[in-house]
A and B are shown apart, each in its own frame.
Chain A
Amino acid sequence: MSDRHRREWIYKLCTYGAIVGLFAFFLQVQNQADEYQIRILNVSAIFVTLAVSYNLINGVAGQFSLGPNAFMAVGAYTTALLTLSPAEKELSFIIEPIIWPLSVLHLPFLPSLLIGGAFAALLGFIMAFPVFRVRGDYLAIVTLGFGEVIRVVANNVQSITNGPLGLKGLSEYTNLWWSWGVAVFTVFCVTRLVKSSFGRAMQAIREDEVAAAAMGINVFRHKMLAFVVHAFFAGMAGGLMAHLITTISPTLFSFFLTFNLLVIIVIGGLGSMTGSIIAAIIITYAGEWLRVVEEPMAIGPYNIPGIPGMRMVVFSIMLILVMIFARQGLMGRREFSWEWFCGFLKIGKRRG
């Protein structure tokens, strides 16, 4: 076996080792940490899933979509409607009774989650036909519109979504295993896809659509592929989110969510999955730590009442700083690799 082969094997083992280590860490956390800590870790995982899949369409394929909140909504509602028992559903739907097949369907968490993802992917597939007729800013506006449409639909189709009342009393199925399991699976699928010939084709489309088409790449099909894969994982993340906070309503899936994700992938570096993962975790934790700035405080003789939304100001400043000092984001388009890591730690130096 050649030196290169052996090294690749070692790196592979390192990756698996790291994943095992991660879950061993969670086992510890599950037993010792308080509920608040666990919750933040869960939210981090959901944002990792969202950011990585969102980066596929925005960073890798270069299609500026603003619609992940739509896919999350579809995933969340689908999953929630499937996990709620018929009796619970009958209790919740007080204004208009729930329509037939949904009123009796009841499935365990995993199949519900997968069906949630599948429905989001189906929406992505259907949306792809109109939205990819336009590019750039226009694409952003059209996808933004679809996000709003889904929210308005969720508000008004009361016999399916229970309207503005939303769905309450979902079981808290989401735990560290589910959330991080899905996150790791997402990272696995998306990075593998990006590193494959399909990923190269998507990047080619990002770099130059006309040239990509002239080189035999079916531009529409690859944009759609990125969009549908993104939708699938965003839908799963929505399902996880629903079963973490146990209550969903249309207001949860506003554009604000998309904005958050956009901040994450831009800070992480458009096109870098490593950057998305790091930024997703940083932003989630920062959101918690920065609660301080929203509390009432006393600076000298002045008493400042709590200002809700101050965190957003801090995030905006962060984004501006990134734009000024690191325009490519934290990672640019670079990715983590064990080779880089070893170089960083100065071990296993390359023989010249």
Chain B
Amino acid sequence: MSFFKVEHLTMKFGGLVAVSDFSLTAKEGDLIGLIGPNGAGKTTAFNMITGRLLPTEGKIYFRGKDITGTQSHIINAGGIARTFQNIRLFNDLTVLENAMIGYHGRLRSSFWEAIFRLPRYKSEEKKMRSMARELLAEVQLDNVANEKAGTLAYGQQRKLEIARALATNPRLLLLDEPVAGMNPRETGNMMDFINSIREAYALAIILIEHDMRFVMGLCEHLIVLDHGVTIATGNPAEIQNNPQVIEAYLGEPEGA
């Protein structure tokens, strides 16, 4: 039984094939990079894995279960969390509340227990709050816990989005362009941050990124997509020297 396995995933939007025959296998603790030019279908692949899109063809297995076409919140409860390319925080909620949302899915109390603040709900709420606080302390966001998420600096928002995903207790984390728009120093910090949470939470991570230095420095295994087609897989060194990859990014050599 493999930890995470995607088989022949295809997504067609009418006549447009966004992703075709995408396959991937990950072991526990793997760090895989998904790269490719804009519009290659990387985010579409994430959307299929997390249940936002129903794949036209193909299967997704996670921890021995077929999760193809399952609803997003059930997939999340199963242990897959994600972040988004254009940050999607709950802007009007505080940083702490954003983190606490991640625990809501595992709440056992029902709504009327919450309305009348019965003991079970009270203790769950307390636990939720202290766990969220701990998590924020770990990612060094505890000093802004009571600020509205929308008012945070860009780098902090990225971090909070990852923290919120961690709150759902995932085994597999999907990061969609975690360092987009960051300067080299921030990128370096994010690299360390991802390495640290990967160890602390024993996570498998799949990430999409355009920053090649970041991807090459972090990932052990890479998959390159172009126009929905997987054109190369391998370790960073292999990918860097793959003529097809170079062609996809830079175009054909002159006179060829």
A216 touches B114 (CB 8 A): no
CB pair A210 B125 closer than 8 Å: no
Q: Is the CB of A216 within 8 A of B102?
A: yes
Q: Which residue on A lies nearest to B114, using beta carbons?
A: A196
CA distance A211 to B165 in the complex (A): 10
Q: Are A211 and B76 in contact (CB under 8 A)?
A: no
Q: Which residues from A are CB-within-8-Å of B107?
A: 197
A304 is an interface residue with CB less than 8 A from chain B: no
- Whether B89 lies near A218 (C-beta < 8 A) is no
Q: Please state if A214 and B101 are interface contacts (CB–CB under 8 Å).
A: no
Alpha-carbon distance A180/B71, docked complex (angstroms): 42
Q: Which of B19-27, B90-98, B182-190 contacts A (4 or more CB under 8 A)?
A: B90-98
B residues 126-157 touching A (CB-CB < 8 Å) = 128
Asked whether, in the complex, the Cβ of B104 is within 8 Å of the Cβ of A219, the reply is no
Taking residues whose C-beta sits less than 8 angstroms from the other chain, chain A's interface range is 20 to 34
Residues of chain A contacted by B117 (CB below 8 angstroms): 192
Cβ of B114 and Cβ of A197 under 8 Å apart? yes
**Most chain A beta carbons < 10 A, residue from B51, B97, B115, B121:** B115
Which candidate, A32-40, A201-209, A245-253, A290-298, is the interface stretch facing chain B? A201-209
Distance of B121 from chain A, by nearest CB (Å): 7
Chain A's closest residue to B110 (CB) is A198
B124: chain A residues within 8 A (beta carbon): 197
A336 to B124, CA, bound (A): 26
Q: CB of B73 within 8 A of chain A?
A: yes
Q: Within 8 Å of chain B (Cβ to Cβ): is A193? A: yes
A201-B104 in contact (CB<8A): yes
- Out of B84, B100, B168, name the residue touching A197 (CB < 8 Å): B100
Whether B168 and A216, one on each chain, are in contact in the complex, defined by CB atoms closer than 8 angstroms, is yes
For A195, the closest partner residue in chain B by CB is B114
Q: How far is it, in angstroms, between the C-alpha of A206 and the C-alpha of B91 when the chains are bound?
A: 10
Known: A210-B88, A212-B101. Is A200-B93 also a contact (CB below 8 A)?
A: yes
Closest 3 CB pairs of A and B: A216-B105, A196-B114, A213-B72
